[in-house]
Each structure stands twice: as C-alpha cells, then as structure tokens.
Structure 1
Amino acid sequence: MAGRRIVTFWAGFSVLERALTLAGVAPVVLMGAGVHEVATSVALLAPPSYQSLMPVPEAPPRMLAPRVLKETIGALRNQFDGLAGIAVRSVDEGWAIESVDADRRMPQQSVSKLWVAMTVLDAVDRGRLGLDTPVRIRREDLTLFHQPIASLVKADGYTATVRELLQRAMTQSDNTANDSLLRTVGGPTAVRSFITRKGLGNIRFGPGERLLQAGTAGLTWRQDMAMGRAFEAARARLPADVRQAAYQRYVADPVDGAAPAAIAAALARLKRGDVLSSTSTDYLIRTMESSKTGKYRLRGAVPPGWTFGHKTGTGQDLRGRTAGYNDVGLLTAPDGRTYALAVMIGDTRRPIQERQLLMQAVVAAIVANHGGR
C-alpha cells in the first residue's frame, strides 16, 4: 500500500501489533540497533540521595488518563520479558500513565546527558556561562566508546564552544563532548545540585563517563583506556566472575539510575517552561528534535506531521544481557498537544528488534488514542 512501511512482529505479541495498527502508522523495517547503540554512563560507587529543596510548580489540572491507552501500556509492559518501565504524561491535560516498575530506578546511560545539558543551560540563564564560551579539550580529557570529537583533538588540543559541545552531546551522544560540558559546569556535584534545586525527583547522576564505565566492567580507570579499543581489551582480560559481579551490582542499584516516571515528569515540566528560561527551553527542545540517535526506537513510529525530540541511552552488554536500553522524549501532535514519555529497559536478554518494537508500540498507542480516537 502506498505510503506504508513494513515491520516484522514476533510471535504472540498481539497487543504490540494492535497498538501499531490502530495508530494508522507502520514503523520502519528493523535493520539493526540504530545509530547509537554503544555503552555510556554506569558505575558502582555509592549513590547520593537527593531531596527537593524547593516546591515543584503545579502541573495543569489532572484529567483522567485515556482508559484504552492505559490498558495498552500496561499490556505492552507485561508482555515484555525483562526489567522495564514505561511512563507517559500529557503535558497539556496533566494525566499520567505509569506501568509496573515505572517508579523503579533503572540505568540511564546516555539519557543522563539531559541533566548535564539542563545544568549547562541553567548556568547560561544565570549568566555564568555563554553558548559561545570556549572549552579546551586535551587528550587527557578523552573518554571512551562513542566520542567522534576525539578525531579533532590533536597534540595541542581542540577548542570548542559550549554550543558545539551541546549539539554533539545531545544529537550524537558524544561522550567526550558531554564530559567536557560536565567539567565546565562544575562536575557531577553541580548536576546533582541542579536536580535537587529543581525538584526533579527520583533521578541520580553518576561521577562521569570514565569512572562509571570502568566501575560497571569491574575495572579501575586508566587514561590509556581512552585510546582505540584499549578499554575493551582490558575488560576482556578480566575473569568472568569479576565482570559478572560488577555488572550485577550495577543493574541491582545503578548509580546513574532514574525512574521512568520521574523522567517523564521532568520532561513535561521542561516543556511547560518550569525548569529553564523560555529561550533555553526552546533551544534544548530544538536540539533534541535534531538528534540523530535511536532511529528505530521511539522515533520509528512517529507519523508525518508529528514532531519528536528525545535522548537515547544504551549500556554495556554481558552474555546476552544489556544494562540499559532507553529512549525518552517529547512527542508533539499536529495540533500542538505534547506528551512526555520514557521507555527504559533496565536489564534484558531480548533481541534488539523486540526492544525497538516495544518502544514503537508505545508511540503508536499514544498516536492512536490522541484526540479520543
């Protein structure tokens, strides 16, 4: 049929198939894991606890969540084999739908780049930084895994602006760009302070890319691990029981963990202008809408006429398990109404295609129920 695309469903997942069909949009053919499927932020350090120091601005009067959508979201989660949480929130009507485990902290991975970006833009709003502030990156600042900016860092370093680093971190999920912003804004303490000051809820922030990744693998970070595939080689030399124990500790209590419900609520507040200035809010959402990662995740079911800004996150693999496979964002209908959503898969052995189809089915269900359909 003209204008339709084809997707392959796995046997028995009728709720997912029904959600995709009812939406009137067919998702893309699943060819692989998408653009950004590398590991990001993880750790084994003792996590701090956060409490809000200020009242959270009031949300719009809460209406009842659509019954069919609530039932569909619940069924999608219940039929997925693995630890996962789904949260959907109407920015305009105030209702929220949260699956089982939506209040449980799960590995964020690169989703945590959102909080770095918000902290940086809050500093811009306060006049402490500018988007054109220069940031020098040296070879000793390089991180690991996905870091395209590393090719620009020569012996004498590379100077980027805050604007360039934000673009790279949020649209390419560049780890070195993100850690450079983190260093510039005051380190993990500054981000944790922002999360607390803004009352964002059940969201943790770890100690930075290198320590997080090394801790999850069971390694002690050395800067030479940033070059080539040295980190992967060091990880491969570890005894299997050391890797397994480190991985299990991380999944059980991720230091970068966040609840899907808290992330969806934070995104709804961002959209309403409760977190940043209007200028910074518009800038961040436009940047999220230009993201090039996660082509086959939530974005895979966004129909023509709708807009979507998001941030993905993907963790390390061990023996077929993945510690964190996520996508969170803001989905806006042609009539301007917006939904904040978070789909976080904390630990699973299911194939990548099944994870992507779960995410696409959530978007498809929202589209199908928009406007009371």
Structure 2
Amino acid sequence: MTGSRIGWLTAGFGTLALAACGPGTRPGTSASAPAATYVGAPAYVVSLPVPKVMRRPRIEAPRALVEQVDALVRGFPGVAGIAIRAVDDGWTVESGGRRRMPQQSVSKLWVAMTVLDQRDSGRLKLDDPVTLYPSDLTLFHQPIAALVKPSGYQTTVGALLTRALTHSDNTANDRLLTLVGGPAAVRSFIERKQLGDIRFGPGERLLQSRTAGLTWQQSYSLGNGFEIARSRLAPEVRAAALEAYIADPPDGAAPLAIADALARLARGELLSETSTRFLLTTMGSTVTGRARLKAALPPGWSLEHKTGTGQELGRRNAGFNDVGLLTAPDGRRYAIAVMIGDTMRPMRDRQLLIQAAAGALTGHRADPRAIASTEDDAPGS
C-alpha cells in the first residue's frame, strides 16, 4: 500500500467508518443508536504518508570466489570441504561444506567456548587454580607434559586455555574438559547454542586410541608409549580402525556449521563481550599451522584460528584442518573453515589447499618460498 493511499484512508477514516456502520450508527453500537453520538475527525487533523520500508540490498557472494572454491574442492584428490561466511555482509560460499569431517584439534574450540560460557555464568574464573598430575597426561602434542612432576604442576584455568588454543596442547585441553564436566558439558553447550552439525568426541585419549585400534592405557602417555603400542598392531587392525573413524567420526563436523559458529562468535552471539574478546585474542596468538591459513595472509589482514591434524596410516591422512576468522584492512570479517577429511596426498599438498582457499578470499597468493612445517603438524595439533 503506497504512502498516498494510506494518507487518503487516514484522512477519510471518520467518513469511511460512518458509512460502513450505516446511517446513524457508530462502530460497536446498534443501528438504533443516535447518529449524534459519533464524532468525525476534527478538521485540523492532518494525515501524513507512511514512509516506505527500505530493505537493505542483499549482497551476493562474489561469483569469482564461488567458482574458485568449487574448483579447489573438486580438484583436490580426496574428501575436502570449504566454507566461507561473510560476518558483516551475510553471504556464504561453500563447496563440500555440508559433509561431516574429522575435526581433530579444531574441537578444542568448543571446549574453550564451554569454559568461557561457564565463566560468563559465574561457575568458574580464569584465575582459578588448577593442578595437573601425571595421571592427567594424554598423548601426541602436549608440551605441558615437561612441567608435570609427580608432585603435580600448579597453573590456572586461563593458562590452560591459552596453551590449549595457541599450542594445541592435548593435556591442557583434556584437563579443561574434565573441569567443565566432561564431553557431556561440551555437547550441551553445542546444543544449547544451536551450533548445528558439530559433534564432540570422547576426549583426546579415547579418540586417538580408538582411531588407532587400541584400548587406552595411561602408560601410553609416557614418552612414545602410544606410538610403540600402535606399531605393534597388525596392519589390518589399524586399517579397519582408521576406516571406521573416517566413515563416522565421533568428532565430525560440517565446515559450514563451523564457519557459521565462528561468524556468530565474532558477532558476540555466543559469549559475553569480554569472553569473546579473550577467545579471539588468544586465537590470534596461535602458533600452530604456520603453513596453512597464516601462510596466505596478505599485509593488513589479521587472523584468529585453530588447526587440527589427524593420524596417518601409510600415505593416508584422516583430518587436516584450519578454521578461523580473517579480518580485512577495511574491518570486514570472514569466517572460514577448510577441512580435509580423507586423502592420500602429502602434507605439503594439504597445506597448499588451505592456503589456496584463503588466497581465493583475500586475493593473495602465498609466498612460494613458504616452507612446509611439520613440527606443529603432529596429530592432535
């Protein structure tokens, strides 16, 4: 209805209402009521046209980016998915983004968010003391293990959170997982915040041992005990266990769901302002994955991210990821999730796919002299 038509109806409301009720009738009264009881609009009442509702133009995803992302996923030898969500403009680009793939250490994000959600509700504080004992040690990437003595190691919730995110420390993460109430608490957070197709596994020790075909024993946490036990398994046992993990990963998630969750985090929809700032600042200090998203970061752009690396059997890898928030020099933000669920390609090719996805978004090609790094790409990191 146009503004002029609305104005005309408003100006003539007294007359229209009187006519509709019949001669000498007011709305809500019988026809026998005297006509003198109805008073029309005073002559000095002026109707104003109602302004039209102006809709914000829908911003379409860049066509070139859609084509590049689709070509990257289709051309990669293996199972991969890419999802990019423009935090501020609202568009989404994805290819393979709805398929659930192993998260590995990307799942540390949900532990961190659960910790900070409990901070927001007053259940814990970042400076709360925590003691780690040898029984808390896990496997693979756990730099904090060198500090844990038989008498224990004193630290804080905030320090563990920083280690879990920036160095992808498995022991720091699993200790936080115990602190918040175990996997059930993290799953409850994911469900309550409606994060979509994101699973959370049983914790690092059980997840990695099952993926290898082992039953967890705490002795595996000492030295290279896990690797030795794994090497003693029959090849067919390991192959069957890895195949089962890839087919239905207990820590599986869709790249599109992760990108959406990161976009909501950036908009302040998941945590308080201070917790959101703490989490993003910490993610901005991540040291793992130097040859992944970070390698394709142009000057003036910033990155807050989390990596994930799964086990390998021969040439086969199950889970190689990098997800995060890219911020352009003009302040526009983009949530990105690049996940490789299953491939026979070497690590360098996996790194290059992640770099190419970031480069498609930023328009920047990574420095070809960037050296592939393996020291921070161990399983669980």
| TM-score tier (shorter) | 0.7 to 0.9
Listed as ranges, the matches of 1:205-284 within 5 Å are: 205-284=200-279
> Which residue of 78, 81, 87 corresponds with 2:83?
87
Q: Give the corresponding residue for 1:8.
A: none
Paired amino acid for 2:338? V
- Structure 2 residue aligned with 1:300: 295
Deviation digits for residues 115-170 of structure 1 (CA, Å, limit 9, x no counterpart)? 00000000000000100011111101100011011111111111110110011000
Q: Which runs of 5+ in 1 are unaligned?
A: 1-59
| Equivalent residue, structure 2, for 1:357 | 352
CA 1:316–1:62 in structure 2 vs 1: closer, same or farther (change >3 Å)?
A: farther
Amino acid in the other structure paired with 1:196:
E
What root-mean-square deviation, in Å, do the aligned CA atoms of Structure 1 and Structure 2 show? 1.1
Aligned partners of 1:207, 1:291: CA distance in 2, in Å?
24
Identity %: 65
For residues 304 and 134 of structure 1, the distance between their equivalents in structure 2, rounded to whole angstroms, comes to 39
Quote the offset at 1:63 in angstroms.
Answer: 2.4
CA shift, 1:61, in A, is: 8.1
Give the equivalent residue in structure 1 for 2:72. 76
Give the 4+ runs in structure 1 shifted more than 6 A.
none
Higher relative contact order (CA 8 A, sep 6+): 1
Q: How does 1:12-161 map to 2 (within 5 A)?
A: 63-99=59-95, 101-161=96-156
Distance across 1 between alignment mates of 2:238 and 2:65: 40
Query: Whole-Å Cα distance in 2 between the matches of residues 166 and 255 of structure 1?
Result: 23
SS in 2 for 1:83: strand
Alignment of 1:315-326 (within 5 A): 315-326=310-321
The structure with more radius of gyration: 2
Q: Is the 8 Å Cα contact of residues 61 and 94 (structure 1) preserved in structure 2?
A: no
User: Does residue 313 of the first structure (1) align with residue 299 of the second (2)?
Assistant: no
**2:77 partner amino acid:** D
Amino acid at match of 1:226: S
CA distance in 1, matches of 2:323, 2:168: 14
Aligned mates of 1:184, 1:68 — CA distance in 2: 46
- Assess if the C-alpha contact under 8 Å between 1:61 and 1:93 holds in 2: no
Structure 1 residue 348, shift from structure 2 partner? 0.5
What letter corresponds to residue 269 of structure 2 in structure 1? D
Q: CA contact under 8 A between 1:217 and 1:243: conserved in structure 2?
A: yes
Q: Point out the more displaced range, 141-150 or 349-358.
A: 349-358
Q: How many angstroms apart in 1 are the aligned matches of 2:147 and 2:188?
A: 32
Distance, in Å, in 1 between the alignment partners of 2:280 and 2:60 is 27
Aligned residue for 1:179, secondary structure, equals helix
Classify the secondary structure of the residue corresponding to 1:235. helix
How many residues matched? 309
Shift in Å at residue 67 of structure 1? 0.5
Q: Which amino acid aligns with 1:151?
A: A
How many Å separate the matches in 2 of 1:171 and 1:87?
Answer: 23
Displacement of 1:304 after TM fit? 1.2
The one-letter code matched in structure 1 to 2:88 is D
Aligned counterparts, 1:186-201, within 5 A? 186-201=181-196
Instruction: Compute the displacement of 1:362 (Å).
Output: 1.2
Cα distance between partner residues in 2 of 1:176 and 1:295 = 22
Paired residue type of 1:264: A
> Given the two structures, how large is their TM-score scaled by the length of structure 2?
0.80
CA shift digits 1:48-93 (9 cap, x unpaired): xxxxxxxxxxxx9852111111011101111111000000000001
Query: Which letter does structure 1 place at the counterpart of 2:354?
Result: M
Unaligned runs of 5+ in 2: 1-55, 365-381
Alpha-carbon distance between aligned partners in 1 of 2:151 and 2:57, rounded to the nearest angstrom: 55
